[in-house]
Amino acid sequence: MSATRRIALLAIIALLPASSVAQSGRTPAPARHGMVVTSHYLASEVGADVLKQGGNAVDAAVASAFALAVVYPVAGNIGGGGFLVYHGAEGEVTSFNFREKAPLAATETMYLGPDGEIVDNSNHEGPLAVGVPGTVAGLWLAHQRLGRLPWRDLVEPAVRLASDGFPSTWAMQGFLRGLTRNTDPLYGPTREAFLKDGQEVYEPGETWKQPDLARTLERIRDEGKDGFYRGETPELVADFMRRNGGMITEEDFARYEAIEQMPVHGTYRGYDVWSMSPPSSGGVAVVTMLNILEGFDLEEIGHNSALYLHLLTEAMRRAYADRAEHLGDPLFNPEMPVDRLLSKEHAAGLRSSIDWFQASPSDSSAFSSSYLPAESEETTHFSVVDAEGNAVSLTYTLEYGYGSGLVAAGTGFLLNNEMGDFNPVPGRTTRSGQIGTDANLVRPGKRMLSSMTPTIVARDGKPFLVIGSPGGRTIINTVLQVILNVIDHGMDVAQAVEAPRIHHQWLPDNTRVEAWGISPDTRRLYELMGHEVWTYSQQGHAHGILIDPGDGMRYGAADSRAFDARSVGY
């Protein structure tokens, strides 16, 4: 940047107020005892009822997750996977990794034809895109470790919702109408599960019953984890795979195990930050960015001012570059430098490379994994705090909205298409596909890299802020900005969730901004610094709970970007 241009920019910034007014959003929902915030009001009500019955945060999370599998099929699931972060009222911290796995028959080149190109988008569409589901195993493990109420009682509400039905909503109309136009026999079981008599759309308000899903959930209710991973369910899925060119077998189901592992930990301005460790990249990236930004007076710079957005972008650029180079499934990548990436010293080095008034280039030649394909934004997150102050932050997904769109006949649930999160073409660097670095290549039994970022911020050893979001690769930056909004800008949790957000992921080298969230003047200043701006309608659905350290009140915020979301407390 020329000296003249820099002086002009400094002069303009000097005339701006020290802080700007953020969107106020809705008033947070208060509760004295427990709070559940999910993407569907019925699931929030199920979770809150469990808390009222004496259940703890893990019990409510299990019940809410199964309820979402019924009422929120776009992302709530038993056919996918995810992560749960737990922080107890007395300081115990742990997490549960139930990310999907590649089938045992998977290979690094399973999606490639003789010409080395991906065949028919098969890593995202069709039976080969399906990973071995992990959700039921993860919820079972968390409940065995930390649950209080009987497992059966926690699954039963979902069984009733599936068997008795619930009102279809406007949010499902696009998917349902698309099914009526899809005549492919592969999706016949999906039509049977989601359409009236397999043919007609359930209009908003009509009762939608799911008898096959109810029977699947009954087996889980009665037999626990084995009700999903052994017996009828894996037999039905494996039969569907054999008939349609897929890979998943009964053995894949039988061998699946969720893992309890320590979350990553960082600190920010006196707060402890606990977030998911690999194969989620979210926790490492959030802590890295917070460490970088801790060196700037963000309150003085002003929320969403041009300079603020510039510094956030530069932190994002560096953390996502680290993510691309280093992170994957730790069981297959034992040398990942996680401790170094989380260190204040590493962040100080990254911070020193930031020019206050000029965007850095996103240099794809810095290392071999130069570009990352888009991740679907259809995931769901929910947050829970119980009467004792125990907290759960849980994010799970099917990958695309409604996952692969495939249902194995007789099961009633959608299968994921998470295999698309692996690097599909070993050794290739392009501007439109993912390079094949070893950290995230397909291997049998391997978990694919994820951006899910369930996070709990604590103060003095007790949960303070429970937060997470869907949004594919934008998840990490959404969680980051909600944390900054609360800690640096003093927003309540609803303001922090509703405030406009931005996203930069290193490559492609542009910043995505919610169209309504940046003024023309701020955009011009930001672009003068060398940033390219793309606008889009919205980023994520952040659902959070803040616990007031003074009086212990719980304040819930369900993001208004989510159609059916609600905070329910008591």
Closest CA to 385 of 522, 264, 548: 548
Closest CA to 37 of 550, 546, 552: 546
Query: Residues 63, 139: one domain?
Result: yes
Q: SS3 of 555, please?
A: strand
Q: 371, 434 in Cβ contact below 8 A?
A: yes
Is residue 430 annotated as a catalytic residue, yes or no?
A: no
Q: What's 461's domain CATH number?
A: 1.10.246.130
Paired residues of 567 in beta bridges? 37
Q: Of 413, 440, 467, which residue constitutes the final position of a domain?
A: 440
Instruction: Say if 101 falls within a structural domain.
Output: yes
Q: 456, 139 in Cβ contact below 8 A?
A: no
C-alpha to C-alpha distance for 273 and 283, rounded to whole angstroms? 9
Instruction: Say if 555 falls within a structural domain.
Output: no
Q: What is the residue-wise DSSP string for 490-528?
A: ---HHHHHHS--EE--SSS--EEEETTSS-HHHHHHHHH
Tell me, what's the pLDDT at 440?
87
Which H, E and C letters describe 3-65, residue by residue?
HHHHHHHHHHHHHCCCCCCCCCCCCCEEECCCEEEECCHHHHHHHHHHHHCCCCHHHHHHHHH
C-alpha to C-alpha distance for 329 and 115, rounded to whole angstroms? 28
C-alpha to C-alpha distance for 481 and 23, rounded to whole angstroms? 14
**Residue 321 in tokens:** 């570059």
Q: Of 391, 407, 440, which residue constitutes the final position of a domain?
A: 440
Instruction: Say if 111 falls within a structural domain.
Output: yes
Paired residues of 395 in beta bridges? 83, 381
Residue type, 17: P
Query: Residues 169, 292: one domain?
Result: no
Over residues 481-501, the pLDDT tens digits come to 999 999 999 999 999 999 999
What pTM, to 2 d.p., does this model score?
A: 0.93
Strands 511-514 and 533-536: parallel
Residue 81 has a CB neighbour count (10 Å cut-off) of 31
State in Å, rounded, how far the first CA of the chain is from the last one: 55
Which H, E and C letters describe 352-385, residue by residue?
HCCECCECCCCCCCCCCCCCCCCCCCCEEEEEEE
Paired residues of 412 in beta bridges? none
Query: Residues 111, 230: one domain?
Result: yes
Instruction: Say if 564 falls within a structural domain.
Output: no
Give the sign of the dihedral formed by CA 363, CA 369, CA 370, CA 375.
Answer: negative
Residue 370 has a CB neighbour count (10 Å cut-off) of 21
Query: Residues 524, 385: one domain?
Result: no
C-alpha to C-alpha distance for 289 and 476, rounded to whole angstroms? 10
Q: Verify cis geometry, omega within 30 degrees of 0, for the bond prior to 30.
A: no
Buried b (16+ CB within 10 A) or exposed e, 399-417: bbbbbbbbbbbbbbbbbbb
Q: SS3 of 107, please?
A: coil
Instruction: Say if 523 falls within a structural domain.
Output: yes
Instruction: Say if 387 falls within a structural domain.
Output: yes
Tell me, what's the pLDDT at 289?
98
Residue 438 has a CB neighbour count (10 Å cut-off) of 15
Instruction: Say if 222 falls within a structural domain.
Output: yes
Q: What is the residue-level pLDDT of the chain in tens, covering all 570 positions?
A: 556 555 555 555 554 444 443 434 578 999 999 999 999 999 999 999 999 999 999 999 999 999 999 999 999 999 999 999 999 999 999 999 999 999 999 999 999 999 999 999 999 999 999 999 999 999 999 999 999 999 999 999 999 999 999 999 999 999 999 999 999 999 999 999 999 999 999 999 999 999 999 999 999 999 999 999 999 999 999 999 999 999 999 999 999 999 999 999 999 999 999 999 999 999 999 999 999 999 999 999 999 999 999 999 999 999 998 988 888 899 998 889 999 999 999 999 999 999 999 999 886 554 333 344 455 556 899 999 999 999 999 999 999 999 999 999 999 999 999 999 998 888 664 444 345 567 889 999 999 999 999 999 999 999 999 999 987 788 999 999 999 999 999 999 999 999 999 999 988 899 999 989 899 999 999 999 999 999 989 998 999 999 999 999 999 999 999 989 999 999
Tell me, what's the pLDDT at 427?
67
Instruction: Say if 213 falls within a structural domain.
Output: yes
Residue carrying structure tokens 């106020």: 24
Burial category of 114 from C-beta neighbours within 10 Å (exposed 0-12, middle 13-18, buried 19 and up): exposed
Tell me, what's the pLDDT at 6?
59
Tell me, what's the pLDDT at 366?
45
Catalytic residue among 169, 216, 379, 437: 379
Residue 61, domain extent: 32-260+378-440
Query: Residues 42, 169: one domain?
Result: yes
**At residue 349, what are phi and psi to the nearest 5 degrees?**
-65, -40
Query: Residues 357, 400: one domain?
Result: no
Q: 569, 556 in Cβ contact below 8 A?
A: yes
Residue carrying structure tokens 């490379």: 353
Query: Residues 129, 171: one domain?
Result: yes
Q: Of 391, 406, 440, which residue constitutes the final position of a domain?
A: 440
Query: Residues 538, 467: one domain?
Result: yes
Query: Residues 249, 327: one domain?
Result: no
Q: Give the total number of structural domains in the chain.
A: 2
Query: Residues 275, 192: one domain?
Result: no
Query: Residues 140, 284: one domain?
Result: no
Q: Which long-range contacts (C-beta less than 8 Å, at least 24 apart) are formed by 349-352?
A: 350/288, 350/292, 350/315, 350/318, 351/292, 351/295
Query: Residues 201, 297: one domain?
Result: no
